[in-house]
Amino acid sequence: MIQRYGPWAVITGASSGIGRAFAEHLAAQGLHVVLVARRGDLLRDLGRRLSAAHGVSHRVVVTDLSLPTGASAVVDAVTDLDVGLLVSNAGSARPGAFLDTDPAELRRAFTLHASTHMELTRALGPRLVARGRGGIVLTSASGGRHGMPWMAHVGAAKAYVLHLGEALHEELAPAGVRVTVLVPANVDTPIVDAIGLDRKDLPGPLQPPAVAVRRTLRALQAGKPVIIPGPVISVMLKAIPRRMSIRMNGRLMAKAARVHAARDAQARRAGSAA
């Protein structure tokens, strides 16, 4: 791991969920880690813990990757490091009707879910090629495999990431750089609750982020372009007809959108009462 992907790994979205699990796993393997997210307190606590437990160095980059300057802040922060692995994982989601979403929010979402992946890969990719070895993990979503009603914009942005990674898997392979796209269906992360999904509506049990990370890194080392961690959910997603999957996901997201609408209404009532 260190020889091919070390000595430094850059991990975005490292403050929680899959990103934090990547940081923990890679540090345990002896890689130094660059931890990127908005919540600096969580990153600093995580970095201190990883350094103490595994004797690795860490660097914290506090930035908002939904802003146009977010990716460049990461690139500027690692100019002096020998980066061998990029895990571009940051993301968030809020279901709702596309036509009801503020255009500024749509632009921020596209920056976070598509442009940032592109910019980080374009900036750090040449350094990996020059080394003659390295790895890139891009996190997409199950909604990137087809249209996602009630999260149409984010699903479309994640489709860009999926297609980008699949193409670069072939394009960069001759240079010794491996690229794998993670499609984290049914992974137990805070985003499940943030979206407003009812866990009992999901197809099958949620797997821990650490399991998804191990399977993703094995896929990267094995030279696989896409990994849906979890054999059961992987088979299900591939077996369900495309139109049926779109309708099923649309029902889930419509229900989640109603949850958010109810939360917003409650917050407005509380604000009026105050």
Candidate CATH numbers 1.10.10.10, 1.20.210.10, 3.90.1150.10, 3.40.50.720; the one for domain 2-230+241-273: 3.40.50.720
Q: Where are the domains of the chain?
A: 2-230+241-273
CB 30, CB 50: distance < 8 Å = no
Q: What is the length of the chain?
A: 274
Which SS3 state, helix, strand or coil, does residue 239 take? helix
CA 104 to chain CA mean position, Å: 21
- Are the beta carbons of 120 and 168 closer than 8 angstroms? no
Q: Which is more confidently placed, 177 or 269? A: 177
Does the pLDDT of residue 130 top 80, yes or no?
yes
Higher pLDDT, 260 or 131: 131
User: What average pLDDT does range 111-123 have in this prediction?
Assistant: 98
> Is the pTM higher than 0.85?
yes
> Above 80 in pLDDT, residue 274?
no
136 phi, psi to nearest 5 deg: -135, 125
- Render pLDDT for 36-59 as a digit per residue (tens, 0 to 9): 999 999 999 999 999 999 999 999
* Range in 53-62, 141-150, 234-243 with the lowest mean pLDDT: 234-243
69-97 pLDDT, tens digit per residue, is 999 999 999 999 999 999 999 988 889 99
What DSSP string describes 26-78?
HHHTT-EEEEEES-HHHHHHHHHHHHHHH---EEEEE--TTSTTHHHHHHHHT
Torsion of CA 194, 86, 38, 142, to 10 degrees: -10
Helices of type H across the chain = 2-5, 17-28, 40-54, 70-77, 103-110, 116-131, 152-171, 190-195, 209-222, 231-239, 242-273
Q: Read off the pLDDT of each residue in 139-151 and give the average, rounded to a whole number.
A: 90
Q: Mean pLDDT in the chain? A: 92
Residue 135 bridge partners (DSSP): 85, 178
Tell me how far apart the alpha carbons of residues 219 and 225 are, in angstroms, rounded to a whole number: 8
Confidence of residue 268 (pLDDT cuts 50, 70, 90): confident
Give the model's pLDDT for residue 226.
Answer: 96
Find residue 139's DSSP bridge partners. Answer: 182
DSSP designation for 208: P
- What proportion of the chain, given as a percentage, has pLDDT over 90? 69
pLDDT computed for residue 159 by the predictor: 96
